[in-house]
Amino acid sequence: MSTSTRSERLRLAVAAGAEISRALAGDDAPQVIARCVAEALDAWRCDLWEYDAEARTLTATARWSMEMTEADRAWVGSVAALAERPGYAPIIEDGRCVASAVDDPDLHPSDRAAMLASGEVASLMVPLHYQDRGVVGCLRLVDKREDRRFTAEDCELVTLLARPAAVAARNARLFRLQEQQNRHLASLLDTARAITSSVTLEDSLARICRTAAEALQTGQCVAYEYDAELDAVVCRASYAAGGRSRAVAGADVYALDDYPTDRVILERGDVAQERISDVDLPDDSRAWMEQWGEKACLHVPLVVEGERLGLLVLAESERERVFSPAEVELARAIGEQAAVAIRHARLYRRGERQNERFAALLETSRVLVSSLDVDAVLGGVRREVAGLFSVPGDDVTLLLRRGEAFVPFEPGLHAAGADRPAVELDELERRAVEDLVPALADGHDSVRIVVPFVAGATAEGLLGLRASHGDTFGDDELELLQVLGSQAAAALANAALYRKLERQAITDGLTGLYNHRYFYERLNQEIARAQRYGLPLSLLMIDIDDFKHFNDRFGHPVGDLVLVEVGHILATDIRAGIDVAARYGGEEFAVVLPNTARDGAQAVGTRLARQLSELPGEPPPANDEGALDVGERIRATVADSALPGVDPDTHITVSIGVACLPGAAGGPGELVRSADKALYLAKRLGKNRVEVFGD
């Protein structure tokens, strides 16, 4: 695959990855993923599957096709056992990318039949890996055009998109659940604000029952509080569809000795589903459900830090139903709120400030997963945390991992790649890094917490917070800060992946210099800036002398090492962050020298000062060397360099052509042609020399 083709594919990957990332916060994220991947591969259709490792099932999540039909739309939501789809096993179990064609002799008969039935000619399947969770799903690309076969390059491109697609799919799924939680948590917050000091626990739980029943669309919901002294659950509130929520105030007490199933659920602390048709339904549950005409129940244990507080039971009497994982998670989240309500009623009522802090932290986490700007994300985290906990901004510290060390985060320096000295972690910070959980230290007059940004099995950053109030960090705050740290780690990972793909799209894969396309983008920009400020600009076109003869003598692998060496010389012999070195093509290179004249820097005087005061941005600093000096230094460095893979007496040389503005024509094409003419002159005059256009 040519460099330009690879660059174009990487550009498509960056564009598709960026659109996928922008879709993180949307309800249609899975559909966006399917469309972006299909368009990037020019495929007829793309299917997105989610994989349930415990059930070993595949769930159809999204489909995009050039010609969407009602059957395509109806396909979304269908569930298939992995055993029924043998062609998916290598992708899910082995994590391999698999390309197939309908005429492949080793294609499984059931897969061939399915492809023929839908008119498919070729398919490409790639696994979706998410952190340490393994394969969480797969993408399947399909084409119906007779001449289409998916290639290794296609597999490489879709693999690039699979990682952000997995993150996006996972985050979109979590975000949809979080949006559900937010709506109902907001209802709980409104309820809390409406309650006066005289309102009882039963009234609070009655509102929670109504919220849970309406959120999960069940016929009724009952809240029970566990009484350890009685070893029984006490009915505190209930809600029935079509009626009003009702506070019961302990009227009904049920000893757990009479209901052993409830005891098991409460002790295990995990949500449990029951259906009247279950063959293994416990006798006590069956008797209860038959007595009250219930077809399905969802039991949510109310437990906080191992403390058993009660049960929230949602019942459906109209039909048997299976509560989806998302519904179970939502019920668990609401159950957590019910547990917190019980616990707080036993201890004390939290103030309105606590509720606002909880909602604000949830909003902060939503912003984190949808941003690729590290400066904006972490700067916003610092401001938000300082405001939420009413502490000065200086009391909120952020550290980012750099190799095995940590450096302080400062807005602007991270994006610019500035070199900052590493800091030595104190004991609390080391504990957070090693244990990957928040570390808390309660001092004499203040309390300090350090929250790690956990990605996989490492801490990619640290958030440190100091407050003067000893009760600032309750259980909810610790949990929420830990969630915020995880979301920040995800944001850092997304941003790093985006920057990597973006860099690959503009970089030559062999030399590490900029590629041909990006060279012209920057040349256009620098010419426009030079003309705006009235500054000089120089261009060097560089060609390795007799490179074909060198390749014929020593072989192409050694020739590649020579190209790498020349690229390294160019990268180190120019001004970092100002000059632009690129591989123009083959053995030819180009260097753009902003604010550099033929024979040295030029002063622009008061006219430039006036322009600087009127126009946005800044021009590049003047180069003390002239373009001719830079070219001569590069030529000499190359001529004196030892070459890898050849004898020490063998050297290469370069010929260099220089064109400058003002002087040469003003457009990028004319400037390149002028520098090429000077380069050809250097070749004719004996090579290993620098010539300037117009001399």
Architecture in CATH for domain 516-692: 2-Layer Sandwich (3.30)
pLDDT digits (tens, 9 = 90+) for 563-619: 988 989 888 888 887 889 999 988 999 999 998 888 864 434 334 443 444 444 567
Across 313-323, b (16+ Cβ under 10 Å) vs e yields bbbbbeeebeb
Q: What span, in angstroms and rounded, lies between the C-alpha atoms of 565 and 574?
A: 15
Q: What tokens does 587 get?
A: 């053995």
Q: Report in angstroms the alpha-carbon separations of 469 from 210, 360, 389.
A: 36, 20, 10
User: Is 28 exposed, middle or buried (CB count within 10 Å of its CB: 0-12, 13-18, 19+)?
Assistant: exposed
The domains of the chain are located at 3-172, 198-348, 353-502, 516-692
Question: Are 353-502 and 516-692 the same fold in CATH?
Answer: no
- Cβ-proximal residues to 266 (8 Å cutoff; 6+ apart), any chain: 226, 233, 256, 301, 303, 308, 310, 311
What is the Cα–Cα distance from 407 to 554, expressed in whole angstroms? 45
Distance, in Å, from the CA atom of 519 to the CA atom of 504, rounded to the nearest integer, reads 14
Residue with tokens 């100091």: 466
DSSP string computed for 45-78 = EEEEEEEETTTTEEEEEEEEETT--HHHHHHTT-
User: Hey, is 323 helix, strand or coil?
Assistant: coil
* Per-residue pLDDT at 145: 87
CATH 3.30.450.40 at 198-348, yes or no: yes
Copy the structure tokens of residue 268: 């295990």
Token digits for 89? 């096993």
Give the tokens for residue 646.
Answer: 């050849």
pLDDT for the residue numbered 691 = 92
CATH, range 353-502: 3.30.450.40
Token representation of residue 128: 């979706």
Q: Which of 397, 441, 457, 456 is nearest to 423 (CA)?
A: 397
CA gap 494, 563 in Å, rounded: 33
User: What Cα–Cα distance (Å) separates residue 343 from each residue in 222, 300, 471?
Assistant: 17, 16, 16
Question: Which two structure tokens, joined as six digits, stand for 178?
Answer: 């979080």
Q: Tell me which CATH homologous superfamily contains domain 3-172.
A: GAF domain (3.30.450.40)
Under-70 pLDDT residues of the chain = 1-27, 168-200, 242-251, 345-377, 380, 411-420, 444-445, 468-477, 480, 485, 487, 495-496, 498-499, 502, 600-618, 624, 644-646, 663-666, 695
Q: Alpha carbon of 691 to those of 570, 625, 631, 659: distances in Å?
A: 18, 16, 9, 9
- The burial of 324, by beta-carbon neighbours within 10 Å (0-12 exposed, 13-18 middle, 19 or more buried), is given as exposed
Q: What is the dihedral of CA 379, 384, 387, 389, to 10 degrees?
A: -110
DSSP 8-state code for residue 111: H
The confidence score (pLDDT) of residue 196 equals 37
Q: Say what the pLDDT of residue 677 is.
A: 92
Per the document, the length of the chain is 695
Whole-angstrom CA distances from 178 to 172, 330, 333, 353, 359 are 9, 8, 10, 21, 11
Residue 382: the pLDDT is: 75
Q: Let me know: does 252 contact 341? Beta carbons within 8 Å.
A: no
pLDDT of residue 430: 87
8 Å CB contact between 309 and 342: yes
Is the pTM for the entire model greater than 0.85? no
Q: Which pLDDT score is estimated for 2? A: 45
For the stretch 479-499, pLDDT in tens is 767 777 676 777 777 766 766
* Contact by Cβ (8 Å): 423, 406: yes
> Which residues, in sequence order, are CB contacts of 393 under 8 Å at separation 6+?
382, 383, 386
